[in-house]
Structure 1
Amino acid sequence: MSFIILALLIALSVYAIVLYNTLVKKRQMVEEGWSGIDVQLKRRANLIPNLVETVKGYAGHEQETLDAVTKLRASVGSVPAGDVAGRAKAEGALGQALGRLFAVAEAYPDLKASENFSDLHNSLDEIENAIQMARRYYNGAVRGLNVAVESFPSNLIANQFKFEKAEYFEIEDEAERAVPKVEF
């Protein structure tokens, strides 16, 4: 009888260790996913000054749009590292401003024909695609962690060792999802 109880305790201990390690792995995947998003957002932020300067050379009188992009880029950098919702909001606003910037560029055929502008635009498109892929990976990792944190019996281990649900990286404001409206 005591052998059965001992075997059961060992089996439960092994199972608890497996659950704990699974939770650790899922948390690390979330952190890796966030790091991937962060890298792509930094690449985009580093590209923006070159893009603004190129547009400024052709369309200097569109100062309001150029200033908005520059200010929003700076505000993105001021969001605390762990504030996923704040970062998503700031990045959404920056994305809208970049959309307006490209709409302004449409009005200047010389600018659109510029090889430098074209290269910057293509680089930004590549980065936006990489951000989208990184965001999908991150949100998938968040989903996996959140399911594990809330599901029985792993929630018992999660509660005991202070594992918490993570935030999705998403746009909450419907206006940020809309295509920017530009009027000249």
Structure 2
Amino acid sequence: MTGLTVVLVLLVLAALWLTTAWRGLAAARGAADATWVAIDLHLRERQGLVALLIATVQAEAAADDAALARLVAAREHVLAVTTPWERAAAERQLVAAIAPVADAAARHPRLGRSSVLADVEARLTAIEGALQSCRRIYNADVRLYRTRRGHLPGSLLRRFGDFADRPYFELDHTQRERTVPTLAPPLARAA
């Protein structure tokens, strides 16, 4: 009777351990997915502002077709990607494509004085700050998920559920691509 009791207790403890590990793995996956939704929301909001930016620049400075074409192509590429791995690279290209618009604003006085452009710049800056905060939280959630997924018993349990790998959402490490380019010349913003 004692041997059977020990075996039953060990089986119950093993079942509790596996259940707890499964729930922890599922919770970590859920947290990473939830913070990705927040990032995706901000990215979509930025894409909407890029569309407004494109329309504003086309209306005021149609001569800069090359810069606009790069910005339109970058935005379309962002809309076409499907995986988070591809999304980070496409978003870096989108932010880099905004920079030539700053040059267009400096060359075209009417564009630089546009209140719509100043509003877009302020909103892009706010979105970039929110994205940085969400990115930090998301990457922390992914780190926890990957840790639980990579160690026992998670490394065994992940084969029985939908516990696919989640990517980190990294940005380029250069300061130029971390910030939103200034869209309006300093004199236009002071007015």
Q: By the TM > 0.5 criterion, same fold?
A: yes
In the alignment, structure 1 segments of 5+ residues that lack a partner are none
Give the RMSD, CA atoms, in angstroms.
2.3
Corresponding residue of 1:62: 64
Corresponding residue of 1:33: 35
TM-score, normalised on structure 2? 0.82
Corresponding residue of 1:126: 126
1:103 deviates by 3.3
Paired letter, 2:74: L
Q: 2 CA distance for matches of 1:162 and 1:133?
A: 27
Corresponding residue of 2:112: 112
Corresponding residue of 1:153: 153
Q: 1 CA distance for matches of 2:151 and 2:141?
A: 15
Corresponding residue of 1:10: 12
Q: 1 CA distance for matches of 2:114 and 2:171?
A: 33
- Contact 2:92/2:172, CA 8 A, preserved across alignment: no
- Contact 2:78/2:91, CA 8 A, preserved across alignment: yes
Q: 2 CA distance for matches of 1:135 and 1:124?
A: 16
In the alignment, structure 2 segments of 5+ residues that lack a partner are 182-191
Q: 3-state DSSP class of the match of 1:91?
A: helix
Corresponding residue of 1:92: 92
Corresponding residue of 1:167: 167
TM-score, normalised on structure 1? 0.85
* 1:141 counterpart = 2:146: no
Among 75, 78, 93, which residue is 1:76 paired with?
78
Task: Give the 4+ runs in structure 1 shifted more than 6 A.
Answer: none
The alignment covers a number of residue pairs equal to 177
Change (3 A) 1:172 1:151: farther
Change (3 A) 1:100 1:87: same
* 1:101 counterpart = 2:117: no
Q: 1 CA distance for matches of 2:72 and 2:95?
A: 12
1:10-37 per-residue CA deviation (whole Å, 9 max, x = no partner) reads: 1111111010000000111111122111
Paired letter, 1:55: V
1:173 deviates by 9.2
